Amino acid sequence: MNVKKIAKITFVVGGVVFVLIQFVQPNRTNPEVDQSKTMQTELNIPADINALLDRGCKDCHSNRTVWPFYAYIAPASWLVSHDVTEGRKHFNMSEWGKYKLSKKASKLSGIYQAVNDHSMPLPKYVPLHPEANFTDAERGQLAAWAQKEAEKLMGGEEE
């Protein structure tokens, strides 16, 4: 077989596989949000901090994910769905009211650490979501807020 024929077969088979994998769609749901149980409501988050959380965290760490166009095209859809599922499992601002006091303090400490060490937002998320690329000043502001809130909670009673 010549190279052109192999390339043509590869292209056709690849196209068929690409079309077929579109039928394997992941979960892209946004569970209902009880506003009284959200982090924003419980902590009465200042507007500037809430804007940062909204820009850089809500898509993976809340039930208010804005699903981008590529979240509907396999195999990218599988990766996006996985990241959102894992993000929500690790920390979900929409389900804040379900956490015990100690877990809330731990999650706030985690925010402090993650924004300081630049592990959040995920480096792979930022190129497609440049609005989530916090400046050093924004990282400092968010980290300071999270640390202050964690310290407030650690001084409180266990639920």
CA distance 114 to 26: 27
Domain ranges in the chain?
35-154
* Cis? peptide before 26, omega within 30° of 0: no
Q: What is the pLDDT of residue 155?
A: 81
CA distance 138 to 19: 42
- In 3D space, the residue among 157, 159, 69 whose CA is nearest the CA of residue 28 turns out to be 69
Give the position of tokens 């500037």.
48
pTM: 0.84
Computed on alpha carbons and rounded to an integer, the radius of gyration of the chain in Å comes to 20
User: What residue ranges of the chain have pLDDT lower than 50?
Assistant: 157-159
Q: What is the pLDDT of residue 156?
A: 56
